[in-house]
Amino acid sequence: MNQYIDQAVESFRTLITEQLERQNRMEAGAEVKDFSRMEKIVIGVCGGDGIGPIITREGERVLEFLLKKEIEAGKIEIRTIDGLTIEKRQAVGKAIPDDTLEALKACDVILKGPTTTPHGGSLESANVAMRRELDLYANVRPVAVPELGIDWIFYRENSEGEYVLGSRGVEIPGKLAMDFKVTTDAGTRRIARAAFEYAKNNGKTNVAIVTKANIMKKTDGTFSAICHEIAAEYPGITAEDWYIDIMTANLVNEARRSQFQVFVLPNLYGDIITDEAAQIQGGVGTAGSANVGDRYAMFEAIHGSAPRMIEMGRGEYANPASILKAAAMLLRHICRTQEAEKLEKALAVANEKVVITGRNTGATCKEFADYVMDTVTKL
């Protein structure tokens, strides 16, 4: 037993040292890319696994359609990035193969299909690895249901918390298992800043800081305290502390939920509650997700790779609404606001008019995208 303890203590030293270095790098800050001034923007598209390549292909087609002139003028390039498949990742034993990572880093923004993560084993999620490698610290997930008065935006911390050491826990087989959760000052400061800046720039007056600081005293306690420090710089905005459990209930509390506007929260709570929120909007297939850092940004569908749909031969009936929503967020991020608005409007019409059931009783993925593009031409 002692040998396990010695090993764990030794690896804990390494973990703390590495995390401290990461916090110091964040504190030093990074250069922020300004898309409104760039001469050329490279959009990388990677399909991923399962239904990923099917829905992403439609996302790419819609982007090509909306950005046609700028692509022809060489101001925007859409580049296919191969290699982010479970087969290749398993073959090289890496969450993101080296050459794929290099190709991703040569892009400015990325549209990404869902990737499969095996349960257990040592292969890390490609998603989590990409967020870390490109330092995509803000996971921004909007959810709107106008008829219910719901207009939410979630700022989920995307680079630390329960995820950063997710595959580096400690285990004494047959006895115990421990994972780690890490909250850094600089990491919290930048997500809090992003949330409050969004609130300020979009006329929002309320930010909910969602934690479980009564139990996770060190990590969530720090998260909440730093969010309040940042909040103090934004006089017109009320910062409210909420616990994740009651917030989960409040999202389905009709008397309360329409009062929430902006949420800022640690990684795992954000992961869970944004699925709930997306379900209220009509399902995880309807939500888009932006993973934003100072230099790169990646936009993806909020749902998984749905391997069962492929097994059952129903892949072509996958709903591309989520990846198209993500494409609209990508357009907004690179300051193509008009194109983003067109896509959002057409998407809202398509969501209402096109029946998509995930099987041959409804429209195909391609038909849905065709309808979206057709609607754009009529706007």
State yes or no: residue 125 binds ligand IPM (CB under 6 A). yes
Closest to 45 in 3D by CA, of 370, 326, 374: 326
Between 48 and 97, CB nearer to ligand IPM? 48
DSSP 248-314: HHHTT-TTTGGG--EEEE-HHHHHHHHHHHHHHHT-GGG-EEEEE-SS-EEEEESS---HHHHHTT-
Q: Which C-beta is closer to Mg ion: that of 97 or that of 288?
A: 288
Please choose which of ligand IPM, Mg ion, none residue 100 contacts, taking the beta carbon within 5 to 8 angstroms, the exact cut-off set by kind: none
Which C-beta is closer to ligand IPM: that of 234 or that of 263? 263
Exposed, middle or buried by CB within 10 Å (0-12, 13-18, 19+), for 378? Answer: exposed
Which residues have CB under 8 Å from 292's CB, separation 6+?
Answer: 136, 137, 138, 139, 140, 194, 333
157 binds Mg ion (CB under 5 A): no
Query: In one letter, which amino acid is 325?
Result: K
| CA gap 279, 290 in Å, rounded | 18
Q: Count residues near ligand IPM (CB under 6 A).
A: 5
Q: What is the Cα 49 distance to its own chain's centre?
A: 17
The partner residues of 171 in beta bridges, in order of sequence, read: 177
CB of 98 to ligand IPM, least distance (A): 21
Instruction: Name the one range near Mg ion by CB under 5 A: 37-45, 52-60, 106-114, 263-271.
Output: 263-271
Single-letter amino acid, residue 283:
G
State the amino acid at position 367 in one-letter form: E
Rounded to a whole number of angstroms, the minimum distance from the CB of residue 271 to Mg ion is 4
Q: Which is nearer to Mg ion, 162 or 271 (CB)?
A: 271
Give me the count of residues in the chain: 379
Footprint of ligand IPM on residues 6-35 (CB under 6 A)? none
Find which of Mg ion, ligand IPM, none residue 128 binds, CB within 5 to 8 Å per kind.
ligand IPM
- Closest listed residue to residue 372, CA positions, set 62, 98, 112: 62
Which residues 6+ apart lie within 8 Å of 251 measured at CB? 257, 260, 273, 276, 277, 280
Q: Is 271 in the site for Mg ion (CB under 5 A)?
A: yes
Q: How far is the CB of 30 from ligand IPM (least distance, A)?
A: 22
Tokens in use for 161? 């918390």
Task: Report if residue 216 touches ligand IPM, rule: CB under 6 A.
Answer: no
Distance CA 327, CA 346 (A): 13
Whole-number Cα distances in Å, 158 to 135, 138, 242, 291, 293: 9, 5, 19, 8, 10
Shortest Cβ distance from residue 4 to ligand IPM (Å)? Answer: 28
Binds 305: which of Mg ion, ligand IPM, none (CB < 5-8 Å by kind): none
- 128 in contact with ligand IPM (CB under 6 A): yes
Query: What is residue 322's three-state secondary structure?
Result: helix
User: Which residue, 54 or 363, has its beta carbon nearer to ligand IPM?
Assistant: 54
Query: Can you tell me which of 49, 58, 157, 271 binds ligand IPM, judged by CB under 6 A?
Result: 271
The option from ligand IPM, Mg ion, none interacting with 262 (CB < 5 to 8 A, set by class) reads none
Residue closest to ligand IPM, measured at CB: 125
Q: In terms of CB distance, is 271 or 339 closer to ligand IPM?
A: 271
Stretch that binds Mg ion, among 55-63, 200-208, 231-239, 267-275 (CB under 5 A): 267-275
Q: Is residue 339 a contact point for ligand IPM (CB under 6 A)?
A: no
Residue 265 Cβ, how far from Mg ion at the closest point, in Å? 13
Q: Which residue is nearest to Mg ion (CB)?
A: 271
Q: Minimum distance from CB of 251 to Mg ion (Å)?
A: 15
Q: How far is the CB of 139 from ligand IPM (least distance, A)?
A: 7
Could you list the residues that contact Mg ion (CB under 5 A)?
A: 271
**Which residues in this chain contact ligand IPM in the complex, by CB under 6 A?**
117, 125, 127-128, 271
